[in-house]
Amino acid sequence: MMRVASIGECMVELSDAGGGLLARSYGGDTLNTAVYLARLGVGVDYITALGDDPLSEAMLAAWQQEGVGTGLVVRLPGRLPGVYLIDADARGHRRFYYWRDSAPARLLFELPQAPKIAAALLEYHLIYLSGVSLSLYGELGRQRLFAALDAARARGRLIAFDTNFRPRGWSDLGTAQAAFRAAFGRADIVLASTEDLQLLFGPSGIGELPTGDAEREIVLKLAEPAVRVSHGGDQQLITADPVGGVVDTTAAGDSFAAAYIAARLGGASPAAAARTGHRLAAAVVRHRGAIIPRSAMPQRLDCSDIVTEKGA
């Protein structure tokens, strides 16, 4: 059965609850995508490391309730998950503040369990990761991750990479540029944004994308509400409908990625998949936090024909 592996880190999420109070939830870019994939009917497992504390237990329970598989989550005694605070302005634009330097997810590919995880990745139809995923690991961890992706691609598995560049996650720009280029060279699907590419590579950053390779699928999020999809030698501009009532743009890109991947796995064209991504992202930005209530999920997204196998 078709399954997706999503690799990265989930953190405790704190957001404004009004009256000087904070609401506690959880989130992280690849975890957000995994949750939305599960809600769209895709079998998905989350691959990360957590501690043995009550917060980690609560995260696992929440993921399992969402239908996200947790069989490859490594538990490290004495460690605590990272924490981030969302600060959103009146227009819904947000800033993040992190406490995560000793989070267990950063050690994932240096642990004794790393070979087991690498072997397990060979069995997934698609492996999803992001620029944030790459920033978690040191040089050794990234080398082991890339080796695992190479082995998976040799078995015919697909790699989807979302740029999600966060400068504070990197010790220097050169290391980040090298890691992103290595990921671009391995990705079958690249979900990028002009903002990420300019921050990372400068004004000519778009030129780093492998758009000249007709075998690759490039989804470029533009400054205006639209994406440009390049696939099979063709390019299409897919605009998004105007969205009113935006309160928080957290996970807009993560949910777009989930809907796009789900639609493509279900047989939709790249253009139809992009429209599906726009629809889900439009719903997400009308709510606070990374994961919106199930009742707020749009109906009849183009993902209904996906073959699923739920994890536990």
Residues identified as active-site: 254
Tokens, residue 43: 């079998």
Task: Provide the token pair at 83.
Answer: 């924490």
Closest of 287, 309, 305 to residue 296, by C-alpha: 287
Report strand pairing: 158-162 vs 126-130: parallel
- Torsion, Cα 311 301 190 223, to 10 degrees, reads -140
Task: Tell which residue, 108, 190, 172, 171, has the closest CA to residue 142.
Answer: 108
CA distances from 93 to 9, 85, 89, 249 (A): 22, 14, 6, 6
Give the residue ranges of DSSP H helices in 24-84. Answer: 29-39, 54-66
Alpha carbon distance 25, 63 (integer Å): 12
Residue entry with tokens 């993040």: 96
Find, among 39, 52, 126, the residue nearest to 304 by Cα.
Answer: 39
Alpha carbons 58 and 39: distance in angstroms, whole number: 19
